[in-house]
């Protein structure tokens, strides 16, 4: 339903018959600015998840750092697995509790390894964040936060 016509106190904004509201944009108008901005945007070549970052230079880690990185990766994989379990429509509470206990054990081992690092080692902060995240999620599962 189109409502048109002059109303008291409201100007009539209808175009006069025979004129068009479309056409080339006037310089300085918003539509010309929008056309100019959209012409500069290039679409990405691919759409979707990005590929893992590959480093050209191999990273040489000593034994302790290698153990810590490996344990940190395992902990993150367990957190990912927990997230997948919780996203299933009918997840098993027992499976989540078992995974939560295993996650706590891995986190304790990770914390023990972290304590062997120098105080100024940058890996220490990353491991601390993984440790906090896994302890919080483990506690939330054991407390029953994800139950309906």
pLDDT in tens, 101-124: 899 898 999 999 888 888 998 889
Question: Which pLDDT score is estimated for 132?
Answer: 93
Q: What is the pTM of this model?
A: 0.57
Across 28-37, 41-50, 102-111, the highest mean pLDDT is recorded for 102-111
Summarised one tens digit per residue, pLDDT across range 52-98 is 666 555 567 788 888 888 889 999 999 998 888 888 878 778 888 88
DSSP 49: P
For residues 39 and 148, the model is more confident at 39
Give the C-alpha separation, 133 to 126, whole Å.
Answer: 11
Does residue 48 carry a pLDDT above 60?
no
Give the C-alpha separation, 102 to 94, whole Å.
Answer: 12
For residues 91 and 42, the model is more confident at 91
Question: Which pLDDT score is estimated for 20?
Answer: 53
Compute the Cα dihedral for 31, 34, 36, 38 and give only its sign: negative
Give the C-alpha separation, 144 to 93, whole Å.
Answer: 9
Across 2-32, b (16+ Cβ under 10 Å) vs e yields: eeeeeeeeeeeeeeeeeeeeeeeeeeeeeee
Q: What are phi and psi of 10, to 5 degrees?
A: -120, 120
CA atoms within 13 A on the CB side of 106: 28
Task: Specify the 3-state DSSP secondary structure of 36.
Answer: helix
Give the C-alpha separation, 98 to 85, whole Å.
Answer: 12
Q: Are 133 and 82 in contact (CB under 8 A)?
A: no
């Amino acid at each position: 339903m189109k409502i048109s016509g002059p109303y008291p106190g409201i100007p009539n904004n209808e175009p006069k018959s025979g004129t068009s509201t479309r056409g080339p944009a006037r310089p300085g108008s918003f539509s010309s600015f929008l056309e100019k901005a959209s012409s500069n945007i290039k679409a990405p070549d691919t759409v979707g998840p990005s590929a893992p970052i590959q480093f050209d230079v191999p990273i040489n880690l000593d034994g302790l750092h290698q153990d810590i990185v490996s344990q940190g990766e395992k902990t993150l994989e367990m957190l990912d697995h927990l997230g997948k379990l919780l996203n299933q429509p009918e997840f098993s509470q027992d499976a989540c509790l078992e995974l939560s206990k295993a996650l706590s054990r891995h986190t304790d081992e990770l914390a023990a390894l972290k304590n062997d690092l120098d105080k100024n080692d940058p890996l220490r902060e990353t491991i601390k964040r993984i440790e906090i995240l896994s302890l919080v999620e483990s506690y939330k599962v054991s407390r029953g936060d994800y139950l309906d």
